[in-house]
Amino acid sequence: MTTMDLKFSYQPKYSKSRALIIGINKYKEASPLEYAVNDAKEVSDLLIENFGFDKDNVVLLLDEEASKEAIMQEFLKLTNGNVEADERALIFFAGHGCTRTGRRGEVGYLVPNDARGDDFSTFIRWDDLTKNSELIPAKHMLFIMDACYGGLAITRHLKPGSVRFLKDMMIRYSRQVITAGKADEVVADAGGPIPNHSVFTGHLIEALNGNAADDQGVITANGVMAYVYEKVSKDTNSNQTPHYGFFDGDGDFIFKAPGLDALSTDEHKDNDKLIAVPTPSPDAREKQDEDKITTVKKLLSNDSSSIELHDFCIDEVRRFLASTSEDNFSVQGVEFSQDEFMARLEKYESIVKDLSSITACTAYWARPAHKQILQKILARGTDRLDSHGGLVVWLYLRWYPVIFQVYTAGIAAIEGKRYDSLRDIFYTQIGISDYRDKQQHLVHSIGHAILELNRTEVFKKLPGHERHYVPMSEHLYKQIQPALDDILFVGKNYESSFDEFEVMLGLAVAYERRINEEGVWGPIGRFGWKMRDDNRSPFNKILEQAKNEKNNWEPIRQGMFGGDFEKFEIAADEYSGLLSKLNWF
């Protein structure tokens, strides 16, 4: 099974925990170390005593036991088919490390007990472990390397102040690394905060003993990483800077989560909680390379860059259109199956991720000169959605990336109180085609696609969503949050912004259907099951504000709903009547 196949089968728990712990003081040829064995033994004991690792599943290799053959044999045992998808696996190495310069830069190596200095075939290439980890089914793997020159495997890390959903982190695939030093650093074997332990592992032990726990007692790999980074980099006995982050996936290895089992398992809705993910303070981190989001933010900051921004965004739209064409997502000749549906959903989300983030940035920071760009991104993204027939579920699922994009940009607009951007998103004109004899607003087309997908009940095919009231909404709620938090630092305000967006989407669709003389309907999201509590209901709060402010209500002032409160009120009352008939409470 591939990671894609397994994504929707992961559970918010671990079925088993495994570890491979290596500590080498005595080498056949390399100079001896003092505390690597102590470090390995203590980490092994902590995993068993504090974190529920079964002793039979913790392999401890010390000194002469830690030959290259033994290390690789034990590591590759994790690929033999006995490891389950919902497991976690931790790899700890305390010993010597080294690098060699290759054509593409430095190549890191771990030094096993029997390594010979003149023969690099007796060393363990660092990326032999990280690359082979993709053969291991365990959803979460954490590599902890207390070795010189270890910091060579990281590709990215979370930003300071990030928040994530606790259960959601448990069902996302991840491969994480923390190393004692960067690629060009020698690390200390002594002088740590705990006698007879290295600087790095000493602080690691303190982190695992509770110093890295949040105020709810949750200990995550990211939390441990952040604690160890801060402590080691500032320790007076240290001349090293730990390096950490992801090399694959975006979940999180969870050491302990006391509140996880207490979360409601209501079959009709998905209850989860946001937790802050500790990361080092911004001034302690190295500057990250510029990426697409950084580029867009810079271009948005200056009206004179509008042409360059236009070209940059259109290049992304072209890539999106090419990747989502019928050549890649055939709507004919492919029968429906749950596996095919989940595979398509995963691919669509992967393809639209960058474009959604770019659109969200534009919605949040757009100047008047950028309105045309925002609407062009959205309009051109729908250009190839007409089809000459095919399986209904595949036809309407082709709208899913656009729905994902509109949600992401719309939530960003709500978060920034940019109702002008929300107006521009909803009222983007979709052109005439073989299947439309007149132009439509994007919100009308999005509403129709959501209606048809709801009729197929296809999102109830996702594991865990079978009996949810609003499975598509619940799914989008989790999928969109990480990227928006990284871009805009939404934090725990995310839920209220998400709810407000879905209320506005439902009202806007209801208004469009009314002026087009169609039946009363609008998408209903997570806010629907919150209506049992008048004081908590996002819909009731927004409707009350609108009726109090009338034509001074900001969405009306920005031209939404025809810029006329009376017209809005008629559609809103009809939509409210639809909501009152829900049998959810």
Instruction: Give 449-478 pLDDT, tens digit per residue.
Output: 999 999 999 999 999 899 999 999 999 999
Task: Indicate the number of domains in the chain.
Answer: 2
Element (H, E) at 355: helix 338-365
Judgement on whether residues 225 and 348 belong to the same structural domain of the protein: no
Q: How high is the pLDDT of residue 287?
A: 41
Domain that holds residue 163: 3-10+17-284
Question: Where does 261-305 show beta strands of DSSP type E?
Answer: 274-276
Burial 187-217 (b: 16+ CB within 10 A, else e): bbbeebebeebbbbbbbbbbbbeeebbeeee
Residue 550, domain member (yes or no): no
Give the three-state DSSP class for 90: strand
Judgement on whether residues 306 and 350 belong to the same structural domain of the protein: yes
| Total number of residues shown for the chain | 585
Residue 48, domain member (yes or no): yes
Q: How high is the pLDDT of residue 283?
A: 42
Judgement on whether residues 358 and 440 belong to the same structural domain of the protein: yes
Q: How high is the pLDDT of residue 105?
A: 66
Task: Identify the domain boundary among 229, 256, 284.
Answer: 284
Q: What is the mean pLDDT of the chain?
A: 88
Judgement on whether residues 23 and 48 belong to the same structural domain of the protein: yes
Judgement on whether residues 222 and 114 belong to the same structural domain of the protein: yes
Instruction: Provide the token pair at 171.
Output: 């069902």
Judgement on whether residues 201 and 347 belong to the same structural domain of the protein: no
Which of 382, 374, 379 lies closest to 420, judged by CA? 374
pLDDT in tens, 509-532: 999 999 999 988 999 999 999 987
Task: Identify the domain boundary among 439, 465, 500.
Answer: 500
Task: Average the pLDDT over 43-66 and give the result.
Answer: 96
Task: Identify the domain boundary among 284, 301, 328.
Answer: 284
For the cut 60, the answer to whether the pLDDT of residue 1 exceeds it is no
Residue 536, domain member (yes or no): no
Judgement on whether residues 87 and 157 belong to the same structural domain of the protein: yes
Let me know: does 41 contact 29? Beta carbons within 8 Å. Answer: no
Judgement on whether residues 371 and 330 belong to the same structural domain of the protein: yes
Residue 43, domain member (yes or no): yes
Distance CA 540, CA 36 (A): 61
Residue 565, domain member (yes or no): no
Residue 214, domain member (yes or no): yes
For the cut 60, the answer to whether the pLDDT of residue 582 exceeds it is yes
Give the three-state DSSP class for 391: coil
Q: How high is the pLDDT of residue 81?
A: 86
Judgement on whether residues 59 and 172 belong to the same structural domain of the protein: yes
CA 213 to chain centre: 21
Q: How high is the pLDDT of residue 137?
A: 94
Judgement on whether residues 382 and 484 belong to the same structural domain of the protein: yes
Q: What percent of the chain has pLDDT over 70?
A: 90
Q: How high is the pLDDT of residue 536?
A: 78
Query: CATH no. for residue 59?
Result: 3.40.50.1460
Residue 280 phi/psi, 5-degree rounding, is: -60, 160
For the cut 80, the answer to whether the pLDDT of residue 286 exceeds it is no
223: Cβ–Cβ under 8 A, 6 or more apart, which residues?
A: 207, 212, 213, 214, 277, 278
Residue 555, domain member (yes or no): no
Task: Average the pLDDT over 122-145 and give the result.
Answer: 93
Task: Average the pLDDT over 474-491 and give the result.
Answer: 94
Residue 305, domain member (yes or no): yes
Crossing angle of the two packed helices 471-488 and 494-515, in degrees rounded to 10: 120
Judgement on whether residues 90 and 192 belong to the same structural domain of the protein: yes
Instruction: Provide the token pair at 568.
Output: 């809005």
Let me know: does 526 contact 473? Beta carbons within 8 Å. Answer: yes
pLDDT in tens, 298-330: 999 988 999 999 999 999 999 898 888 887 898
pLDDT in tens, 549-573: 999 999 999 999 999 999 999 999 9
Helical segments of 381-441, H only: 392-397, 400-415, 419-426
For the cut 50, the answer to whether the pLDDT of residue 228 exceeds it is yes
Q: How high is the pLDDT of residue 36?
A: 93
Q: How high is the pLDDT of residue 15?
A: 95
Judgement on whether residues 318 and 184 belong to the same structural domain of the protein: no
For the cut 90, the answer to whether the pLDDT of residue 429 exceeds it is yes
